[in-house]
Structure 1
Amino acid sequence: MNFAFSEEQEELRKSVRRFMEDKSPTSSVRAQMETQEGYDREVWDILNNQLGLCSLAIPEEFGGAGFGPLELTVVFEEMGRALFCGPYFSSVALGANAILQSDDEVAKADLLPSIASGETLVTLAITEGDGRWDLDGISTTATAIDSSWVINGEKRYVIDGSIADKIIVVARTTDGISMLVVESDAPNMTITPIVTLDSTRKMATIEFNGTPARLIGTQGASARAIETTLDLAGVALAAEQVGGASRCLEMAVDYAKSRIQFGRPIGSFQAIKHKCADVLLEVESAKSAAYYAAWAASEQNEEFEISAPLAKAFCSDAYFKAAAENIQIHGGIGFTWEHDAHLYFKRAKASQLLFGDSSYHRERLAQKIGL
């Protein structure tokens, strides 16, 4: 078993890193944080027209490049490293994956090509007022009226919900959990942007009051597809967290080498050495967990259900520790708005809670292995 990335995958990493360094420096990140949309449309067009990143893991028959989770892991890791502001995670890790996991070939042929080109932004709406990410928390309902459907309920923490062209809504029907797609300009729907700890990832609350929708797949048969989508999104988030943690380690080490105190670099003091060494261990272990989960996802084997919650739990804690220690090593300046350390800290904390916190995923892991 070889966990090393191929030459082509490493070339992809180099291309994405160059793009992020050019188009997503922290000055750009800060600028997009202050906007309502939260991303630069021109950068988004270049990302798709020149790099084709939205098409990466979509099958060729639906206008994609036909790659898989390993290539996405490379991309998400580099985006996490740069705190990239854009609807890539919502469209690719959530929306596209939900459609791909469905049994609706017509919906795939209809929706995926425009997602692959980046023309259509799509997201997934699951969580409700109780903040739960499991399907038992779904109370939003979808009702069939003649040959159409309407949705009633409220969804919270919808990533890029205010800018998505299409929203995949998880709702409860008479036969069970179903997926439906709602157009952003549909009537009887209210979309409200919300302020969160992490301004680099925009979220919204969406209220449905008899909102017309289109059913995806078989009514009441979407539970498995949604669970798999959430695991795939968790693996993508783990890769993003690895990228962010790696960047925190780089920032801390660079500062420890250059900051002079008592006539010597602070990196020469044992306490700082220990902090950096501990973070390095966390980052390297997180890489192993994320890469293993991505490999299992690409192989579509039985290990995926175990490795996905493991990666999400471990990488969440590793990123948070790396971001917190980065601030500690920087000292007073690390707490200021002007320094970038707090941007990573906020992303780390918000990501730790996204799709459920570490305790939730450890409990899922324990149940899956029979503990």
Structure 2
Amino acid sequence: PEPAVRADAAGVLTGRVTSVADVAAAELLLVLAQGPDGPELHAVEATADGVRTEAVTPLDLTRPLGHLTLDGARGRLLAAGDRARAAVDRALLTGAGLLASEQLGVAEWCLTETVRHTAERTQFGRPVGSFQALKHRMAALWLEVASARAAARNAADALATGSPDAAVAVAVAQAYCAPVAVRAAEECVQLHGGIGMTWEHPAHLFLKRAKSDELALGSPGRHREALAGLVGLDAP
């Protein structure tokens, strides 16, 4: 899609970008803009004239978001044309690949915490984790987390080594790890029982992080669609 910011022939930037992570704390902004001859990448000082940020309440309160408005702001041109687009695409690919590792971390914490809690919480004189129904749910989640670990590490390795299959590895990792993190967090909340639904227990923080990560750099559906194009298959 065309960038939300436009640049005129003099490099003056105008436009609005919504839901930018940590924009209020940033000192330097990298802005992709549509210039007279194609895409341009500009570096803009956060304190420059014509730059305004507006804080918004995010789903994940541990990751602040804000809207960025540029009204006649000036920056420094870093790249233009195909070079600008390639730089942004590579940055987004790298970000999505590394985000899979964060999603893996969320899922691992949720599984570990759930196993610990169900081993300690007793009902009818025995740990609730010994009940077959809960054993099956945690075993199924363990298999998903193990597969997510393989996908996330494969994506990180492909990016680090400059593999030609990096785009495929990242699409697989995001399509798989994002829903696993959400499912692990949901199971963590449910299998903790009443305390899992309280504000005092941290389970809700992991669920909110998992849901925000699922949308941050493309939904699982978008990554499955990208994967279909990369491997020459019709998307569902």
TM over 0.5: yes
Pick one of 233, 254, 276 that aligns with 2:138: 276
Partner of 1:140: 5
- Deviation digits for residues 113-132 of structure 1 (CA, Å, limit 9, x no counterpart): xxxxxxxxxxxxxxxxxxxx
**Correspondence 1:172 to 2:34:** yes
CA–CA separation in structure 2 for the residues paired with 1:241 and 1:137: 29
CA–CA separation in structure 2 for the residues paired with 1:220 and 1:231: 16
**Correspondence 1:200 to 2:62:** yes
- Deviation digits for residues 40-73 of structure 1 (CA, Å, limit 9, x no counterpart): xxxxxxxxxxxxxxxxxxxxxxxxxxxxxxxxxx
Pick one of 37, 47, 50 that aligns with 1:188: 50
Residues 150, 212 of structure 1: 8 Å contact kept: yes
Partner of 1:32: none
What is the CA-CA distance between 1:175 and the residue it aligns to?
Answer: 2.1
CA–CA separation in structure 1 for the residues paired with 2:7 and 2:112: 48
Residues 175, 220 of structure 1: 8 Å contact kept: no
**Correspondence 1:233 to 2:95:** yes
| Aligned residues: CA RMSD | 1.1
CA–CA separation in structure 2 for the residues paired with 1:354 and 1:188: 26
**Correspondence 1:341 to 2:206:** no
Q: Secondary structure at the match of 1:308?
A: helix
The 5-angstrom pairing of residues 1-371 of structure 1 reads 136-145=1-10, 149-219=11-81, 221-371=83-233
- Deviation digits for residues 342-364 of structure 1 (CA, Å, limit 9, x no counterpart): 00000000100111110011000
Cα separation, partners in 2 of 1:239 and 1:224, compared to 1, 3 Å: same
AA in 2 matched with 1:140: V
CA–CA separation in structure 1 for the residues paired with 2:216 and 2:39: 21
Q: Secondary structure at the match of 1:217?
A: strand
What is the CA-CA distance between 1:259 and the residue it aligns to?
Answer: 0.3
TM-score of the aligned structures, taking structure 2 as reference length: 0.96
AA in 1 matched with 2:201: H
Q: Secondary structure at the match of 1:222?
A: helix
| Runs of 5+ consecutive residues of structure 1 not aligned to the other structure | 1-135
- Deviation digits for residues 152-192 of structure 1 (CA, Å, limit 9, x no counterpart): 00011111100100010111112222210110111112100
CA–CA separation in structure 2 for the residues paired with 1:239 and 1:353: 15
TM-score of the aligned structures, taking structure 1 as reference length: 0.62
CA–CA separation in structure 2 for the residues paired with 1:175 and 1:367: 28
AA in 2 matched with 1:144: A
Paired residues, what number? 233
CA–CA separation in structure 1 for the residues paired with 2:25 and 2:54: 11
What is the CA-CA distance between 1:217 and the residue it aligns to?
Answer: 2.2
